[in-house]
Amino acid sequence: MLNLKPVNRILSILCQIIAVSWTSDAYTSMQEIDPNSKYTCKGPLGEFPACACNEMDLEISCINAQFVDTDVFKNVPTYYKGISKITFHGNNFQDLPDDPLFGENVVLDGLTVLNISANYIVNLNSKALRGLPNIRILDLSNNEIVLRPEDVYFLSHTPKITHLYLRRAFTSLVNRTIQFDLMVRMFYNGKLHNLQYIDLSFNYLTSVPYNLPCPFPALTKIDFRQNLLQSLAMNTSCLQGIESIDLSRNHFNDLDKNFRDNFANSVPANSLLMRNSFHCDCNSADYIQWIRSTNAVCHSFFPLKEQSTREKVAIICIYSESP
């Protein structure tokens, strides 16, 4: 009678080998199709789940990684020399380094977007952006920047910036006169002749530097939303290219007459986004008359989709003092 035990044993061993091989291949396959594994960063950044590196889009982002040492930036050029977009958001750096952010003698020619928002940055340091000559978009929003005289050359290494985001970047209630002077000096030293848009919203500003737009000959849009502005006086000779200024959610009662006469009356329709609470008192007549006569303003009491000449002409302000 034929003994099948050796055959069965061989078949059993083969099945085990096939099972192990299939399991190994399946695991490898699972790794290959894991949607997150392809974004694991090379080098030390790969140890942090909060960091993702997309080599196809040339983008690195480390969001809420809670880094405290700016040396982490120096890992980038070692593995990603040709990167175009870098985001480090939600960390606790406080001070940018005295030397270049990505290391001495490092030049990241391909980097066009740098987002270092929400990092509790207080001190900028003038050499921090050296080696980043082609940045177009710089985001420093949601920090606690206090400018010092040694910071006025901070932007001098990035002359090609077109969009500068400083939303809620200067929240410290230090001497605003000194801060404004340092800010304008920093802007002039940056030679930002390509800057088209600047965001200064949510900064608790009660005024703005008179010459704020003057360092930016290509400037077309300014965002002053959610500040504490009651009036606006700027050098109108430096506003000739402006297409829109967002003044929403401030405390405006009026606009400076020089600003109205020499700038606002010559801009395209709806260029000034006011959207403030309407104020009416015995000094409002001139302002109301101007509002009724201009198409420049998009105001809170005219929803944009409903604005019309008829509605503006109908505005009246009746004020009487208490007996």
pLDDT tens by residue, 177-223: 899 999 999 999 999 999 999 999 999 999 999 999 999 999 999 99
80 with 143, same domain: the answer is yes
Residues 58 and 160 occupy one common structural domain: yes
CATH number of the domain to which 127 belongs: 3.80.10.10
Where is the domain boundary, 131, 166, 195?
195
Whole-angstrom distance, CA of residue 15 vs CA of residue 12: 5
Residue found by looking up tokens 């801060």 in the block: 179
Listing DSSP states for 198-267 in one string gives EE--SS--SS--TTTTTT-TT--EEE--SS--S-----GGG-TT--EEE-TTS--S---HHHHHHTGGGS
Whole-number mean pLDDT of the chain? Answer: 84
Which range among 32-41, 102-111, 279-288, 294-303 has the greatest average pLDDT? 102-111
Structure tokens at 241: 């290219």
Q: Are 146 and 265 part of one and the same domain?
A: no
pLDDT > 70? residue 304: no
pLDDT on residue 58: 95
Question: Is the per-residue pLDDT at 284 higher than 80?
Answer: no
In percent, the amount of the chain with pLDDT more than 70 equals 80
Q: Are residues 177 and 249 in the same domain?
A: no
Whether residue 258 sits in one domain with residue 172: no
Among positive and negative, which fits the CA dihedral 284, 289, 292, 297?
A: negative
Q: Domain boundary residue among 166, 195, 224?
A: 195
* Residue 54 belongs to some domain of the structure: yes
Any domain includes 36: no
Residue predicted with more confidence, 287 or 49 = 49
Residue 8 binned pLDDT confidence (cut-offs 50, 70, 90): low
Does residue 254 share a domain with residue 173? no
317 found inside a domain = yes
Range of the domain at 282: 232-323
Q: Which residues, other chains included, contact 8 with Cβ-Cβ below 8 Å and sequence gap of 6+? A: none
288, part of any domain: yes
Residue 62 has pLDDT above 80, yes or no: yes
Is the confidence at residue 250, as pLDDT, over 90?
yes
Tokens 């082609």 correspond to: 134
One domain for residues 50 and 165: yes
Q: Count other Cβ atoms within 10 Å, centred on residue 47.
A: 9
238 compared with 265, residue with greater pLDDT? 238
DSSP classification of residue 188: H
pLDDT digits (tens, 9 = 90+) for 99-156: 999 999 999 999 999 999 999 999 999 999 999 999 999 999 999 999 999 999 999 9
Residue 16 lies in a domain: no
User: Would you say residue 98 lies in a domain?
Assistant: yes
Flag whether 87 is in a domain. Answer: yes
pTM to 2 decimal places:
0.83
- pLDDT: which is higher, 256 or 213: 213
Looking at residue 88, what is its pLDDT? 98
Within a domain: residue 29? no
User: For residue 59, what pLDDT is reported?
Assistant: 97
Residue 65 and residue 148 in one domain = yes
Check whether residue 187 and residue 247 sit in a common domain.
Answer: no
Q: Is pLDDT above 80 for 166?
A: yes
Same-domain pairing of 186 and 95: yes
- Same-domain status, 131 and 272: no
* Whether 270 and 136 share a structural domain: no
Task: Name the domain count of the chain.
Answer: 2
pLDDT at 313 (0 to 100) = 46
pLDDT at 239: 92
